[in-house]
Amino acid sequence: MNILVTGGAGYIGSHTCVALLEAGHSVSIADNLCNSKRETVDKVKLIANKEVTFYEMDVTNAEAVDVVFQNHKIDGVIHFAGLKAVGESVELPLDYYYNNIVSTLILAKACLKYSVNKFVFSSSATVYGDNTVPFVETLNLLPTTNPYGETKAMCERILTDIAKANPSFSVSILRYFNPVGAHESGFIGEAPNGIPNNLMPYVTQVAKGKLKRLRVFGNDYPTVDGTGVRDYIHVVDLAEGHVAALDHLTEGVHIYNLGTGQGTSVLELVNAFETANDINVPYEIVDRRPGDIASCYADASKAKRELGWTAKRDIIAMCRDSWRFETNSKE
Ligand code: NAD
Ligand code: UFG
pLDDT tens digits along 196-244: 999 999 999 999 999 999 999 999 999 999 999 999 999 999 999 999 9
CA dihedral 147, 150, 151, 155 (to 10 degrees): -170
pLDDT greater than 90 at residue 157: yes
Distances, alpha carbon 77 to alpha carbons 28, 54, 328, in Å: 10, 14, 31
Indicate whether residue 177 lines ligand 2 (CB < 6 A): yes
Other C-beta atoms closer than 10 Å to the C-beta of 236 total 23
Alpha carbon distance, N-terminus to C-terminus of the chain: 37
State how far the Cα of 10 lies from the Cα of 6, in Å rounded to an integer: 9
Query: What digits encode the pLDDT tens for the residues 178-188?
Result: 999 999 999 99
Q: Measure 292 CA to ligand 2 centroid, in angstroms.
A: 8
Ligand 1: nearest atom to the Cα of 123: 44
Average pLDDT, the chain: 97
Q: Measure 198 CA to ligand 2 centroid, in angstroms.
A: 5
Query: Which residue among 5, 6, 12 has the greatest number of ligand 1 atoms within 8 angstroms of its CB, and so is best to mutate?
Result: 12
pLDDT greater than 90 at residue 143: no
Which CATH code fits 2-181+232-261?
Answer: 3.40.50.720
Residue closest by Cα to atom 44 of ligand 1: 124
Side chain identity at residue 316, one-letter code: I
Ligand 2: nearest atom to the Cα of 229: 15
Cβ contact 203:269 at 8 Å: yes
What integer pLDDT is reported at residue 192 of this predicted model? 84
Q: Measure 217 CA to ligand 2 centroid, in angstroms.
A: 10
> Which bound ligand lies closest to the C-alpha atom of 135?
2
State how far the Cα of 263 lies from the Cα of 19, in Å rounded to an integer: 26
Closest Cα to residue 69, out of 6, 135, 18?
6
Residue closest by Cα to atom 5 of ligand 2: 199
- Give 59's contacts (C-beta < 8 A, 6+ positions apart): 6, 30, 32, 65, 79, 81, 103, 106, 107
Residue closest by Cα to atom 18 of ligand 2: 198
Average pLDDT over residues 110-132: 97
Cis peptide preceding 290, ω within 30 of 0: no
Q: Measure 153 CA to ligand 1 centroid, in angstroms.
A: 16
What integer pLDDT is reported at residue 331 of this predicted model? 67
Cβ contact 168:105 at 8 Å: no
- Give 305's contacts (C-beta < 8 A, 6+ positions apart): none
Ligand 2: nearest atom to the Cα of 291: 24
pLDDT greater than 90 at residue 62: yes
Catalytic site includes residue 11: no
What integer pLDDT is reported at residue 145 of this predicted model? 84
Q: Measure 220 CA to ligand 1 centroid, in angstroms.
A: 32
Cβ contact 4:16 at 8 Å: no
Ligand 2: nearest atom to the Cα of 231: 35
Q: How confident is the model at residue 86 (pLDDT cuts 50, 70, 90)?
A: very high
- Cα-flanking dihedrals φ and ψ of residue 118, to 5°? -115, 125
Average pLDDT over residues 42-50: 98
| Three-class DSSP labels, the chain | CEEEEECCCCHHHHHHHHHHHHCCCEEEEEECCCCCCHHHHHHHHHHHCCCCEEEECCCCCHHHHHHHHHHCCCCEEEECCCCCCHHHHHHCHHHHHHHHHHHHHHHHHHHHHCCCCEEEEEEEHHHHCCCCCCECCCCCCCCCCCHHHHHHHHHHHHHHHHHHHCCCCEEEEEEECEEECCCCCCCCCCCCCCCCCCHHHHHHHHHHCCCCCEEEECCCCCCCCCCCEECEEEHHHHHHHHHHHHHCCCCEEEEEEECCCCCEEHHHHHHHHHHHHCCCCCEEEECCCCCCCCEECECCHHHHHHHCCCCCCCHHHHHHHHHHHHHHCCC
Q: Measure 9 CA to ligand 1 centroid, in angstroms.
A: 9
> Which bound ligand lies closest to the C-alpha atom of 123?
1
Query: Which residue among 121, 217, 270 has the greatest number of ligand 2 atoms within 8 angstroms of its CB, and so is best to mutate?
Result: 217
State how far the Cα of 94 lies from the Cα of 108, in Å rounded to an integer: 21
Query: What digits encode the pLDDT tens for the residues 311-331?
Result: 999 999 999 999 999 999 876
What whole-number percentage of the chain has pLDDT above 70? 99
Q: How confident is the model at residue 173 (pLDDT cuts 50, 70, 90)?
A: very high
Other C-beta atoms closer than 10 Å to the C-beta of 124 total 22
Cβ contact 263:269 at 8 Å: no
What integer pLDDT is reported at residue 280 of this predicted model? 97
Q: Which of 55, 96, 128, 148 is catalytic?
A: 148
Average pLDDT over residues 120-149: 95
Indicate whether residue 230 lines ligand 2 (CB < 6 A): yes
